[in-house]
Amino acid sequence: MAPEDADMYLNFYALTEKPFNPTPDPKFLYMSPAHREALAQLSYGVQERRGFMLLTGKVGTGKTTLLHALRKRLTSQTAISFVFNTTLPFDGILEYILEDLGIAKGLESRAQRLIALQHFLVDRERAGENTVLIFDEAQNLDAATLEQIRLLSNFETPTDKLLQILLVGQPELRAKLSLPELQQLKQRIGLRCQIPPLAPEEVRQYIRRRLRIAGSHDLGLFSDAAVDRLTEYSGGIPRVINMVCDHSLVFGYADQKRRIDRPIVNQAIEYLEEGASPSSQPKAVKLNGSRVRLLSRWSFGTLAVALADERAGPCPVSAPPPAPMSKFFEALEQAQQEKAARRRTVPAAPAEPVAERAPVVTKPPAPAEPVAERAPVFSKPDAPTFPQPVPRRVRRSSLEPSRGGSNETEEHLQMEEHLVSLLAPTSFEAEQYRTLRHLIEQLHKAAELQVFAVSSPTASDGKTTTAINLAGALAQSHDARVLLIDADLRVPTVGTNLGLDERPGPGLADTILNSSLTLDAVVQVRPQLNLSILPAGRLPSAPYEVLKSPRVGELLAEARKRYDYIVLDTPPLVSVPDCRVIGRWVDGFLIVVAAHKTPRKLLEEAIRVAEPAKVVGLVFNGDDRHLSRDSYASYAARQFSDGHGGGWWRGPFGTRDRRHRKHTASDD
């Protein structure tokens, strides 16, 4: 297959890269509870110098991918030798290890090599550094070689092991270690981890995660029935899932089907089992007679050559019964036709057939379908843009009269300036926040996203007001459980904007630092708003170190069980590094951009910091173009291409004249 056709189905399914490649890319690692536990144990074992560690799992369960993730997690102070070829004799393995660790060459005897390795390990230990040997496919090691590897663990001090050794293999490795001659090795294994196949629900999440990382926002690309068939056939083995999914995408592309259903998955399984492409209806094609015979026996790579051969005169013939690889041939033929069509297209037109993926900034093309999650924005072509109003001071008559004293009145005055989505539900601005709420609800339903971080490239872009009103709009659904968290531990303003008690009290920072505090002790519930709020609490002297704590993940894991939606107001993405550690715990980022103010380069940097795969959309704030308030009911259907910004759709963010605006979102 020609290189330019290697991504033939990416444009059709609006993907930025192949989601089901067979390579062990740690970026695509799905952290099931078993994978997460194994990675945590192995990291602990290396850091605490536990000596021998064991990781086992069936073929294709993701052991090698997990090892690559472990390598990325270990610090630069850890030297790693990764032994892939475990069929070598011990001397060959030792030579490979010395080469991998950069130890001097030209050592002829085993004794010289062992002495050089010992000096290397002692020098690293004195420098406070660690060394790890990883043996993949360790079930291939014979008993004699395993015994020699055990002797390497004798490099130690009275207090520490100088060499950490990780044995990784299939379940038969455990049986081998139970042999009488390997009892000493078995007794030295300090940590044992096992990766089981994925459970049915984990298969669904596995597929959706890989699609999301590959740039897709249509995480329901594989129907429920298709996923059930995949689970049944694969037995929860990720490698088999990848093979079936990749073939299914090729077959779906060949048939021009936007949704992968159970019949397509069955076709892919049939091909993998039988080695022949699924049957398709015969169709007349213009092929030379000799080429018909070639198509029935040549390899897939040769088919492209046969198709391009125009030296012989074409004559109309009927295709023979479906030949091997016919589905692949149809997919390749479709890709060739699309490529030829693109070459005939005017240069100014988008190069990709799916308009919403074109990375246009100032003048976006009309979308091929109204799916908000596929908008082209700067360096993340799939991120949608959402309208966001400039909050105004709500008239007193639009609120319930205050029955309390001056404190309650002041609280209402503070809240009404920022929480228009709840306190002025019929206002023009609230309608726009409800549009944003609808899109978030769709992401929650389709992609099961639950924890959203609202941030911005720099300060004063309107992130806090957006977070407050998004949470308020979500809370308008009476059966929704919504938690708003002030995670900006540098300049927290959620509590002030909502009129909470300004006296220092326990909040997020306190709960992170004090594990005895629970969510019940710090979350403030506002029943009249159907909203729960976790304020920032007492400001720590080192916010980054506090947010870096694993306790943050524990709190959010507990919150996931109690709430349907969790909205975090976070620090700016570019100004401070806090979001780099918050990002690991959230499902998606909403980035608020100040219209006509935020430089494009800062936005691009913000998207990179947030991880492009996690940016679910951009909210443009503070656009002052005029639009009659009476026409807002139809604003969602309007499309603008006036050069003021990019996106699948632009709604009015602020609609009144500057002379009448009393408040803007920029004062966050």
Q: How many whole angstroms separate alpha carbon 626 and alpha carbon 658?
A: 10
Strand partners, 485: 534, 568
The CATH H-level superfamily of 373-658 is P-loop containing nucleotide triphosphate hydrolases (3.40.50.300)
The two structure tokens encoding residue 609: 């910091």
Nearest to 623 by CA among 653, 661, 650: 653
The two structure tokens encoding residue 92: 């060959």
The two structure tokens encoding residue 122: 């002692």
Q: Are 168 and 138 in contact (CB under 8 A)?
A: yes
**pLDDT confidence of residue 642:** 36
Q: Are 463 and 668 in contact (CB under 8 A)?
A: yes
Question: In the CATH scheme, what is the code of domain 31-195?
Answer: 3.40.50.300
Four-residue CA torsion sign, 473, 477, 478, 479: negative
Taking 70 as the pLDDT cut, the residues of the chain under it are 1-7, 275-428, 500-504, 623-668
Nearest to 352 by CA among 327, 385, 374, 330: 374
What CA dihedral angle connects 62, 68, 73 and 74, to 10 degrees? 130
Provide the 8-state DSSP code for 284.
Answer: E
Nearest to 242 by CA among 267, 277, 206: 206
Q: How many whole angstroms separate alpha carbon 412 and alpha carbon 368?
A: 44
**pLDDT confidence of residue 328:** 57
**pLDDT confidence of residue 335:** 64
Instruction: Give span(s): CATH 3.40.50.300, the chain.
Output: 31-195, 373-658
This prediction's pTM:
0.47
- Helix ranges, 3-133 (H): 33-47, 63-73, 90-101, 110-126
Q: How many whole angstroms separate alpha carbon 163 and alpha carbon 49?
A: 8
Residue 377 burial (CB count, 10 A): 27
**pLDDT confidence of residue 7:** 61
The position carrying tokens 């037995």 is 235
Nearest to 460 by CA among 571, 624, 361: 571
Provide the 8-state DSSP code for 77.
Answer: T
**pLDDT confidence of residue 316:** 41
Q: How many whole angstroms separate alpha carbon 37 and alpha carbon 622?
A: 45
For residue range 388-428, what is the model confidence (pLDDT) as tens digits?
444 433 333 333 333 344 444 444 444 444 566 666 666 66
Provide the 8-state DSSP code for 380.
Answer: B
Strand partners, 532: 483, 525
- The full DSSP string for 478-512 is TT--EEEEE--SSS--HHHHTT---S----HHHHH
Strand ranges across the sheet with 164-169: 78-83, 130-135, 164-169, 52-57, 189-195
Phi, psi of 192 (to 5 degrees): -130, 125
- Cα 238-242-244 angle, rounded to 5 deg: 115
Q: How many whole angstroms separate alpha carbon 587 and alpha carbon 368?
A: 27
Four-residue CA torsion sign, 347, 352, 355, 356: negative
Q: How many whole angstroms separate alpha carbon 404 and alpha carbon 407?
A: 8
The two structure tokens encoding residue 593: 């951009």
Q: Is 351 left (phi over 0), alpha (psi -120 to 50) or beta?
A: alpha
Indicate the SS3 state at residue 306: helix
In one-letter notation, the amino acid at residue 495 is G
Q: Are 617 and 646 in contact (CB under 8 A)?
A: no
Q: Are 414 and 499 in contact (CB under 8 A)?
A: yes
Q: How many whole angstroms separate alpha carbon 602 and alpha carbon 205?
A: 33
Nearest to 487 by CA among 391, 551, 421: 551
Q: How many whole angstroms separate alpha carbon 47 and alpha carbon 28?
A: 24
